[in-house]
Amino acid sequence: MNDSLILRRAGFSRRIDLSTLWRLLAALVFTAMVMLGVLSLGKVNLSPLTVVQLLWQGGDERLVFIIKQLRLPRLLLAALVGSALAVSGLILQSIIRNPLASPDLLGITSGASAAAVLYLSFFSVLLGPQYLPLAAMGGAGLAASSIYLLAWKRGASPLRLVLIGVGVSALLTALTTFMLVFSPLTTTLSAYVWLTGSVYGASWPEPRALAEWLLAIMPILVLLARLVRFQQLDDALAQGIGVRVQWLRAGLLMVSVALAGAAVAWGGAIAFVGLIAPHIAKRLVAPGFAGQAVMAALVGANLVVLADLIGRSLFLPLDLPAGIFVAVLGTPFFLYLLINQRH
């Protein structure tokens, strides 16, 4: 029985694994159910049917406001942040060829965090909070550029990228702590919430801005997606079959930085999503970057959405950052991977 679908047009050919396609459709349905459940739960609990009616037909103005202006933008922002971090982590694990690679461990998140704390400490009063995402993305890009340049020695090998990334991450974390010590108390409290990772208080401009950024990155990711598998090969072998390894690695690294930087800019430094989601995706679908990227995006979205639901509903009247609950899951998972990779 044929388990794949072949699509051919002029200048285009693609094989689609039917098993992967059905699993992605199942994951998409599951994600939709999770999102409907998340919209239903909170300080005011509603039935899923009521939520659907409020979304499509309107009704009680107070309930419409709760769903459309409070819960829905927060839900969409959490989903977009989780998706971006997950795909960024999948790209890093592919180009580094290390299952422990993620934006958190390689300095990308640390660069965004250091730049954000610097902005909150010294520039937010003068310029306002609207430029915080720009500062975070700039910090992520600067950190990644520094790592790549420091790792360069007739090319940037995966091993050097890992070692330099861990070192730069530790340095930037120390710098962030140093700035927090000398920051005003109000700034420090805001910075700690941001560093933990939270989508609290999200309104429609935030998910719209993040969605526009991700849509701008998408064409580049699609163009490079079919070449990701060459990063799994030894550099010499890949060069021998005509692949420009360093240019491809640099391009994929920049895409990963753009995704992670944008996610951290609007959602804070939510750790471990870029580590956990790719591993779950690889277990759910067959090898192939495109299918694994879609599955990782869905898994990452569910992780952050459910973590945010726990933070805002289980500890009422408190509203705890989603990053706390992702870290609760991520820390043992990281230790499990570390033990498995000790040899």
Does 234 have pLDDT greater than 80? no
CA proximity to 228, closest of 99, 105, 84, 93: 93
Please give the model's pTM, rounded to 2 decimal places.
0.89
Q: How far is CA 219 from CA 16, 194, 215, 224, in A?
A: 19, 30, 8, 9
CATH of the domain at 174: 1.10.3470.10
Is residue 8 one of the residues assigned to a domain? no
Residue 324 burial by CB count (10 A; 0-12/13-18/19+): exposed, middle or buried? middle
Is residue 5 one of the residues assigned to a domain? no
pLDDT in tens, 137-187: 888 889 888 888 888 777 667 777 788 888 888 898 888 888 888 777 667
Is residue 7 one of the residues assigned to a domain? no
Which residue range forms the structural domain that includes residue 310? Answer: 31-340
Count how many domains the chain has: 1
Is residue 171 one of the residues assigned to a domain? yes
**Which helix (H) or strand (E) segment is 272 a member of?**
none
Is residue 3 one of the residues assigned to a domain? no
Is residue 97 one of the residues assigned to a domain? yes
Is residue 266 one of the residues assigned to a domain? yes
Instruction: Over range 123-146, report the average pLDDT.
Output: 82
Of 22-26, 90-94, 122-126, 323-327, the one with minimum mean pLDDT is 122-126
State residue 245's pLDDT score. 73
pLDDT-derived band at 1, boundaries 50, 70, 90: very low
Is residue 4 one of the residues assigned to a domain? no
What one-character DSSP code corresponds to residue 67? I
Of 34-43, 176-185, 195-204, 289-298, the one with minimum mean pLDDT is 176-185
